[in-house]
Structure 1
Amino acid sequence: MPEGHSVHRIAKQFAVNFVGHRVAVSSPQGRFAEDAKRIDGHTMIAAKAVGKQMFLEFDNELWLRIHLGIYGAWDFAGDISIDPTIASANGRMGQTNQQGTVLDEAGENSLHSIGAPRRTRLRMSESEKVEADIDVFPPEPIGQVRVRLLTDTAVADLRGPTACEVLDPAEVDAVIAKLGPDPQVDDGPEAEEAFVAKVRKKPTAIALLLMDQSVVSGIGNVYRAELLFRARQNPHTPGKLVAEDTVRELWRDWVHLLKIGVETGQMMTMDDLDEESYRKAMAKREDRHWVYKREGLPCRVCGTHIVMEELGGRKLYWCPKDQA
């Protein structure tokens, strides 16, 4: 499932390529046809993400709410350019001075499309992949497209979302009110205090609380495992028994890692790498993380084998020594 950084990057794509433009909205698949009529032909005036949910605002006071879930993905095509705040990062990791484009071995390279608009196809879901340039615009829909958003220069096709609905402002507010704080929306002291207060009153395991979107927005399985290891926190400890300083450290580290994810498009969770190690990590997923998907392999710190177990229906990765 796409984690928070991916959804914020998708919202930035809409901000650059769709906001301020009149949008033709349709449902090639047919399942969204009635709702599509409510916003068809209107101008998109805002695009924002909160955690794993995205909201696109139109000039008739209606919003399109999207939750990609496990299978959802957006395909952008046309004269696509990327958000300048991402482009300005130029590959910088925040905690290092390394720069430059690094190609993922799977072809996923969030920096490849940065720069001048080009007539291409860009797939955005849990990860990003630039596909072949296109000759005809708009291209024919591929697969079961729930909703198509089309301007004179760009098109976005949505497939497989968990949620896709048109809401009024009050309904949008109600959805957001149920979500925990998101550092990309608010990383100030009030957001931190809200997170700390929720965690410190819960008897639920901290590993489950970090995945609870009402406690904190945007954290998924990868970031959950990595945040807990970086804090050397036992994932099974009830939230109310986790030291307050550790809870605050988790929040501040989430602010830090989410910023890196939004800037680079990759869930890089290892700090202070030299240039060679940084490039290796950006090129291969298995070299970006401390514990995620490293079950049976030696811990990078102590050498103990990383454990994988089922918790709350999801796989949990942790070091039984460093996180004892």
Structure 2
Amino acid sequence: MPEGHTIHRLAAEHRRAFAGRTVRAESPQGRFAAGALLIDGRVLVEADAHGKHLLLGFDDERWLHIHLGIYGKYTFGPLPAPAPTGAVRLRLSATGEPGETGETGEPGKPGEYADLRGPNVCELLDPVGKKALHTRLGPDPLRADADPESAWRRISRSRASIGVLLMDQSVVAGVGNIYRAEALFRQGVDPSRRGCDLGRERWAAIWADLVELMAEGVRVGRIDTVRPEHTPEAMGRPPRVDDHGGEVYVYRRSALPCLLCGTEVRTEVLAGRNLFWCPACQTG
């Protein structure tokens, strides 16, 4: 499932392609036909992200709420768009410059389209529904309005493990399996440590690390978590080969030696997801 940095990148991509433009909306698959009809011909005025939720705002105060889930994906491209293939839930397209509503736009400005396939959620919200969504989500390390104290209040009262709490989107929004494993490793925290035993300073360090790591993920488009002194070049080791890309400490490195101490990286299923950690480095 895409983690929060991917959704923030998608919000930026929608702003770049469609902000201020009149968009055409259709549902080739048919499953979002009624919703597409309501936003067809409207101007996209805002693209926002909160955790793993993408929110596209239109000039009639409707918000398109998308949660990709495990199988959802986006495809962007220039117009003219190809004939839809597969189960395209929603196609957005726009031509011209911001504020233009014509069908052709300026010469050399062919416009763009975006195809959405397989989302877990694709729905329209009114402002009340959007506010309710934000309310049920925890602070997002990538949002300027994030309040890490609200997460700390939940964590400090909980007997659940920090490994579970970091994946609870009502506690912290946007953190997925990779950022969970890597932030806990970087801070030397045992993922089984209870939230109420964590300590405020340790939580502050984890939050600061998430802010830094996820912002870098937005910038480069992949998850890199190793410090400069632990890169393949610095350590003289082979680079990671994985379809997720990026250099990491423990994620998907089960039974391999820890990059720092050589101890075998362990894994177990926690809250339905594979958890990775180093038992020697993560004792805090």
Give the TM-score, by structure 1 length.
Answer: 0.78
> What aligned pairs does 1:48-127 form with structure 2 within 5 A after superposition?
48-78=48-78
User: Aligned residues, how many?
Assistant: 265
In structure 2, what residue type is equivalent to 1:45? V
167-176 vs 286-295, which deviates more? 286-295
Provide the C-alpha distance between the structure 2 equivalents of 1:301 and 1:195, rounded to a whole number of angstroms: 30
2:125 is the counterpart of 1:167? yes
Q: Which runs of 5+ in 1 are unaligned?
A: 80-136
Aligned partner of 1:32 in structure 2 is 32
Provide the C-alpha distance between the structure 1 equivalents of 2:269 and 2:193, rounded to a whole number of angstroms: 16
In structure 2, what residue type is equivalent to 1:167? L
Q: Which runs of 5+ in 2 are unaligned?
A: 96-110
Provide the C-alpha distance between the structure 1 equivalents of 2:11 and 2:57, rounded to a whole number of angstroms: 11
Provide the C-alpha distance between the structure 1 equivalents of 2:39 and 2:114, rounded to a whole number of angstroms: 15
Provide the C-alpha distance between the structure 1 equivalents of 2:181 and 2:231, rounded to a whole number of angstroms: 25
CA shift, 1:61, in A, is 1.0
Which protein has the larger Cα radius of gyration, Structure 1 or Structure 2?
2
Cα deviations by residue, 1:248-275 (Å, 9 ceiling, x for unpaired):
1110100110110000011000112488
Is this contact kept in 1: 2:231–2:247, CA < 8 A? Answer: no
Provide the C-alpha distance between the structure 2 equivalents of 1:184 and 1:62, rounded to a whole number of angstroms: 23
Q: For the structure 1 residues 276 and 206, does the alpha-carbon distance in structure 2 shift closer, same or farther, using more than 3 Å as the test?
A: closer
> What aligned pairs does 1:1-324 form with structure 2 within 5 A after superposition?
1-78=1-78, 137-152=80-95, 153-186=111-144, 191-273=147-229, 277=233, 288-324=247-283
Cα deviations by residue, 1:96-123 (Å, 9 ceiling, x for unpaired):
xxxxxxxxxxxxxxxxxxxxxxxxxxxx
Q: CA RMSD in A?
A: 1.9
Q: Where has structure 1 moved over 2 Å in runs of 4 or more?
A: 273-278, 280-287
Cα deviations by residue, 1:263-320 (Å, 9 ceiling, x for unpaired):
0011000112488738x75886576000000001001111110001111110000011
Is this contact kept in 2: 1:266–1:282, CA < 8 A? Answer: no
Higher normalized contact order (CA 8 Å, seq sep 6+, divided by chain length)? 1
In structure 2, what residue type is equivalent to 1:291? V
SS in 2 for 1:54: strand
Give the TM-score, by structure 2 length.
Answer: 0.89
Aligned partner of 1:99 in structure 2 is none
Cα deviations by residue, 1:212-237 (Å, 9 ceiling, x for unpaired):
01101100000000011011111011
Cα deviations by residue, 1:26-55 (Å, 9 ceiling, x for unpaired):
100000001111111101000010110010
In structure 1, what residue type is equivalent to 2:91? R
Is this contact kept in 2: 1:187–1:255, CA < 8 A? Answer: no
